[in-house]
Structure 1
Amino acid sequence: MARAYNFAPGPAALPESVLKQAQADMLEWGDAGASIVEMSHRGPEFMAVATRAEADLRTLLAVPDEYAVLFLQGGATTQQALIALNFAAPGDTVDYVVSGHWGRTALRQLTPAVAVNVAASGEADGFRTIPARETWRLTPGAAYVHITANETIHGVEFRPAWGAPAPDTGDVPLFADFSSSIASEPIDISRYGLIYAGAQKNLGPVGLSVVVVRRDLLERAGQPRADIFNYASHLANDSMLNTPPTWNWYLAGLVFRWMLDQGGTSEFDRRSDEKAGLLYAAIDGSGGFYRNDVAHEVRSRMNVPFFLTDPALDADFLAGAREAGLIGLKGHRVLGGMRASIYNAMPVEGVRALVAYMQDFQQRRG
């Protein structure tokens, strides 16, 4: 059976060549006599895998030396809880810009020990826009400002008008959830105090998160917490304070190498423009049969929610898409409709196939 084009939002499609390499390595790693998933995380074989993965990620994202890289268990929601514990002392104010569902989720991870200021929110218009920077009510001396670089569900993204995508927050460090757009374009890491990403969209399999943090910020006392929740302790132990998810880390390393071999973030930036351009053109050119409600200047290039003119057609659309080898298109329960996630592993041919199906479905059912 041929593999389908997988538009799922996460866990998302992985490059086929990466899956084949993992398949070949699953039974035995080199001549070690055991699978990579069976080996000690502190043994020389896995240590070499981990070292190369970090080096490749640093190259891919152009991470400056003054930033540490952590590979941690759990998803982005776990990091949303840990960043306040590590970087905001009791009584500190933290500023959050809420641009969609995951921005709201980040707020729910905060403890009562910190004062929360929602500096801006797009909720009033259904998260179809991102509030202009001049409207943000930032707190002087806040511990940090948090944004969600790309909202996977609502399909809004900080685009180049924002500084691709970093807004200016002055002397207060900017923290950003990059889970669904990391490595899709070059970013200037130096404009952030910290970025984090769950791996399961652009970087690898579910169960692993990447944190890139300015080293001096790790000197903050933060809030009382167990050592396992302490970023500095994880760094001191090479992200092996406890047994890490070694298979996930190994797979992510393969994805980093694949992205570098493909041309790096500049090449994926070009591909993202091409893929998103094709899909939005099909939606906008459908005469209203399909629609996307997000303001054009903040439309996501990674996650494209769209709706049929008649919701009664949704089930038929999805059933026909599956028959055509297009899967993972059902919209999130928060919004309904459809959603096409077109991460780095999605080839342009997959988007062309989706566009062709959309046009055929409209001709038959419009």
Structure 2
Amino acid sequence: MPERVYNFSPGPATLPYEVLQQAAKDIVNFQDSGIGLIEISHRSKQFMAVIEEAEQLLRELMDIPANYKVLFLQGGASSQFFMIPMNLLGDGKKATYLNTGVWSKKAIKEANQFGQIEIAYSSEEAKFNRVPAPGEYVVADDSEYLYFVSNNTIYGTQFPEMPKSEKMLIADMSSDILSRKLDVSKFGLIFAGAQKNLGPAGVTLVIIREDLLERTPKNVPTMLSYKTHADNGSMFNTPPTFSIYIVAQVLKWLKAQGGVDGMEKINREKAEMLYNAIDSTDYYRGHAEPGSRSMMNVSFNLPTADLEKKFIAEAAAVGLDGLKGHRSIGGCRASIYNAFPREGVVKLVEFMKEFQAKNPA
């Protein structure tokens, strides 16, 4: 096997190496059962223990109150763009959305099919280079909820503090869940695609307050009702067993790192190191305004597009992979999620200094 590279991909993203090693064994022979992990029945005692452990660890790490359900769903985070308004809005009802990037725009488009959507803030004209401060938007009195994306993978922005509102909060935390402490009780619903901070693609986590399960209109299809999955312990149909298993393994790894508190300290250190390298020179320019910078995704530019192309190619050649920016803004992007090792950031910062010295603008 070749030496592992540092994977800066925005998702599917890097996973803890020890998790991959354990999964490589279990996928062939799970717990000495003579059956591979992806072959066992989702109704078996072995897998039921896996999904129960995943939920228990998540509840412990996030301090999830007892009156919240934890669901492991399929369809990706994008399915939540329509499931949320389908379940929680109705004819004539209103919801407020904050438009801070591609994923909020997609959610707004879907939500418009199910109710009246009010966009209280948008940074689109500034190429989504910031998130709003608390006083920059107003949530309508008749809104059912305030929807926002806590971290934007493409533009490298993140809410430094979660929005506060008398209305119910609903958050897409696909790219920063478990990266910092938060109070789950302030939210009606939190969701996250696994493939950035939790595990591989294939499972989407939903944390929903129990009373909301009764709000689903009767005409919502069975598979698209949160109550269906809550009542069946995420076992209404065959769940993505392998993805859930990896989530459980990642959560065990995260607990060993000191939990969310320990992870937040590491994440802040990694991000500070990289932003310091960007700010120390005019050669590199961060896309996000300083007050809105993400700890998870660092988007930046070089003096020219040609230099960016060369930077990405030469970085990949020395084991720094996945640094190409999203097609909508170009440039470079370093995704440094929970499992991304500190030494990878150190190596990237060293490469940035060397590249600038060899390639003056």
TM-score when normalising by structure 2: 0.97
Q: Does 1:331 align with 2:332?
A: no
Secondary structure of the structure 2 residue equivalent to 1:168: coil
Q: Counterparts of 1:261 and 1:106 in 2: how far apart (Å)? A: 35
Secondary structure of the structure 1 residue equivalent to 2:345: helix
| Equivalent in 177, 183, 188 of residue 188 of structure 1 | 183
Secondary structure of the structure 2 residue equivalent to 1:211: strand
Q: Counterparts of 1:157 and 1:271 in 2: how far apart (Å)? A: 17
Q: Does 1:207 align with 2:202?
A: yes
Q: Does 1:296 align with 2:290?
A: yes
1:85–1:223 contact (8 Å) kept in structure 2: no
Secondary structure of the structure 2 residue equivalent to 1:294: coil
Secondary structure of the structure 1 residue equivalent to 2:69: strand
Q: Counterparts of 1:221 and 1:210 in 2: how far apart (Å)? A: 19
Tell me by how many angstroms 1:111 deviates.
Answer: 4.8
Q: Counterparts of 1:344 and 1:364 in 2: how far apart (Å)? A: 32
Counterpart for residue 162 of structure 2: 166
Counterpart for residue 251 of structure 2: 256
Secondary structure of the structure 1 residue equivalent to 2:216: coil
Tell me by how many angstroms 1:315 deviates.
Answer: 1.9
Secondary structure of the structure 1 residue equivalent to 2:33: coil
Greater alpha carbon shift after TM alignment, 130-139 vs 288-297 = 130-139
Q: Does 1:346 align with 2:346?
A: no
Deviations 1:229-258 (A, max 9, x none): 000110110101111110111111100111
Tell me by how many angstroms 1:70 deviates.
Answer: 0.4
| TM-aligned CA distance change 1:111 to 1:225, over 3 Å | farther
* Structure 2 unmatched runs, 5+: none
What CA RMSD, in Å, does the superposition of the two structures yield over aligned residues?
1.1
* Structure 1 unmatched runs, 5+: 160-164
Tell me by how many angstroms 1:167 deviates.
Answer: 1.5
Secondary structure of the structure 2 residue equivalent to 1:144: strand
Q: Which amino acid aligns with 1:273?
A: R
The 5 Å alignment of 1:135-174 reads 135-159=136-160, 165-170=161-166, 172-174=167-169
Q: Counterparts of 1:119 and 1:291 in 2: how far apart (Å)? A: 29
Secondary structure of the structure 1 residue equivalent to 2:129: coil
Greater alpha carbon shift after TM alignment, 239-248 vs 308-317 = 308-317
Greater alpha carbon shift after TM alignment, 337-346 vs 102-111 = 102-111
Counterpart for residue 6 of structure 1: 7
Counterpart for residue 192 of structure 2: 197
Q: Counterparts of 2:283 and 2:5 in 1: how far apart (Å)? A: 25
Q: Counterparts of 1:130 and 1:19 in 2: how far apart (Å)? A: 35
1:205–1:251 contact (8 Å) kept in structure 2: yes
Tell me by how many angstroms 1:31 deviates.
Answer: 2.6
Q: Which amino acid aligns with 2:354?
A: D
2:95–2:143 contact (8 Å) kept in structure 1: yes
Q: Which amino acid aligns with 2:230?
A: L
Secondary structure of the structure 2 residue equivalent to 1:30: helix
Tell me by how many angstroms 1:105 deviates.
Answer: 1.4
Q: Counterparts of 1:166 and 1:279 in 2: how far apart (Å)? A: 23
Sequence identity of aligned pairs in percent?
43
2:155–2:287 contact (8 Å) kept in structure 1: no
2:96–2:118 contact (8 Å) kept in structure 1: yes
| Equivalent in 219, 229, 235 of residue 230 of structure 2 | 235
2:190–2:208 contact (8 Å) kept in structure 1: yes
2:85–2:114 contact (8 Å) kept in structure 1: no
Question: May I ask how many residue pairs the two structures share in their alignment?
Answer: 359
Greater alpha carbon shift after TM alignment, 319-328 vs 107-116 = 107-116
Secondary structure of the structure 1 residue equivalent to 2:230: helix
Q: Counterparts of 1:277 and 1:245 in 2: how far apart (Å)? A: 36
Tell me by how many angstroms 1:125 deviates.
Answer: 1.8
Counterpart for residue 170 of structure 2: 175
Q: Does 1:225 align with 2:225?
A: no
Q: Which amino acid aligns with 1:284?
A: D
Q: Which amino acid aligns with 1:345?
A: A
Counterpart for residue 281 of structure 1: 276
1:95–1:116 contact (8 Å) kept in structure 2: yes
Q: Counterparts of 1:268 and 1:259 in 2: how far apart (Å)? A: 7
Q: Which amino acid aligns with 1:166?
A: M
